[in-house]
Amino acid sequence: MKIYTDLPNVPVTSKQKQRVGNVASKAGNTFAESLRGAMNSVHESTDSPQTAALHRVTATTQTRLQTEAMTIGEQALSLIEHLYTRLDNHETSQGLLDTIASGLSDQVERLRAIRDSLEEGDPLKQMIEQIGILSAVESAKINRGNYSS
């Protein structure tokens, strides 16, 4: 493990020093007590109970949204993998291709909706965008007849 010594000096305000002191004074000897003390100081530093509740809801919602985005992305990639497997095995009946194209089109719409719901700086947003593009391209290729025998 490398330890870098050229880290920038970050100034600490007196309010931050006070918060750290409060955490240390509230904390006991065990990790659980220290964690409880830190959590209490965070909750005390918020403007109101409503603000603290909003932060908890936002964090939970974002996590659910990211989980849903990953699930939808995995489904789209599984469908594309299924298409490629069928193509490799020369199993390209028109009915099967139409079903896959329809599924990919549905996935593109779901990916677009979930992408627009993600926050701007979320790296998952770019990944979902790329999966959506790949899904749209494969659906268009099927509809255009590129994979028909």
Instruction: Render pLDDT for 61-100 as a digit per residue (tens, 0 to 9).
Output: 567 888 899 999 999 999 999 999 999 988 888 999 999 9
pLDDT, tens digit, for every residue of 119-135?
A: 888 888 999 999 999 99
Report the helix count and the strand count for the chain, using DSSP H and E.
5, 0
Answer yes or no: are the C-beta atoms of 34 and 27 closer than 8 Å.
Answer: yes
Q: What are the structural domain ranges in the chain?
A: 14-45, 60-144
Q: What is the pTM assigned to this prediction?
A: 0.58
Quote the CA–CA distance of 37 and 26 in Å, as a whole number.
Answer: 5
- Asked whether the beta carbons of 140 and 101 are under 8 A apart, the reply is no
Contact 113, 132 (CB under 8 A): no
89-111 b/e (C-beta count within 10 Å ≥ 16 → b): eeeeeeeebeebbebbeebbebb
pLDDT at 105 over 90: yes
What's residue 11's pLDDT?
Answer: 55
Residue 14 CB partners (closer than 8 Å, separation 6+): none
Structure tokens at 103: 């599924």
Give the residue carrying structure tokens 């079903």.
99
Identity at 40, one-letter amino acid code = N
